[in-house]
Amino acid sequence: MPVFVMSDLELPIRGRTYREPDGPHSVVVRGRDLEAGLQHVTVRKDCRTMAVIGLPSADPDLSVLAGRRLFLVDGDSARLRDFAEIALRAEAEVEWIRSATPPFDRLADALLPVGAIVLAAGSSSRMSGPQKLLLEFDGRPMIKSVIEAASDGGCHQILVVYSSDDVKNAVGGDAELVHNPRAHTGMASSLQVGLQAMRQDMEAALVMLGDQPMVGSRTVSALLRAWRREGARPAVAVARDEGKWTPPVVLARELWDELMTLEGDAGARQLLDRRPELVDIVPTLDRLDDIDTPADYANIVRLFPRPKPTPKA
Q: What is the pLDDT of residue 108?
A: 93
> Where along the chain do its domains lie?
3-111, 114-300
Tens digit of pLDDT for each residue in 109-128?
999 999 999 999 986 555 55
Model confidence over 195-206: pLDDT tens digits?
999 999 999 999
Query: How buried is residue 292: exposed, middle or buried, by Cβ count under 10 Å (0-12/13-18/19+)?
Result: middle
Q: Detail the DSSP E strand segments found in the chain.
A: 3-5, 16-17, 25-30, 47-53, 69-74, 93-98, 114-120, 136-137, 140-141, 157-162, 176-179, 204-209, 235-239, 245-252, 279-282
Integer-rounded Cα radius of gyration of the chain: 22
Mean pLDDT within 91-96: 95
pLDDT score, position 310: 46
Query: If you write DSSP's letter for every residue of 41-75 in order, what string do you get?
Result: HHH-TTEEEEEEES--SS----GGGTTSEEEEEES
Residue 58 has pLDDT above 50, yes or no: yes
Instruction: Yes or no: say if 160 and 175 are a contact pair by the CB < 8 Å rule.
Output: yes
C-alpha–C-alpha distance, residues 162 and 157, integer Å: 16
Please give the torsion angle defined by the CA atoms of residues 257, 263, 268 and 271, in that order, rounded to the nearest 10 degrees: -70
Summarize the confidence of residues 215-227 as an average pLDDT.
Answer: 95
Statement: 114-300 belongs to CATH 3.30.460.80: no
Half-sphere exposure of residue 119: CA atoms within 13 angstroms, side-chain side: 28
Among 278, 274, 282, CA closest to 246: 282
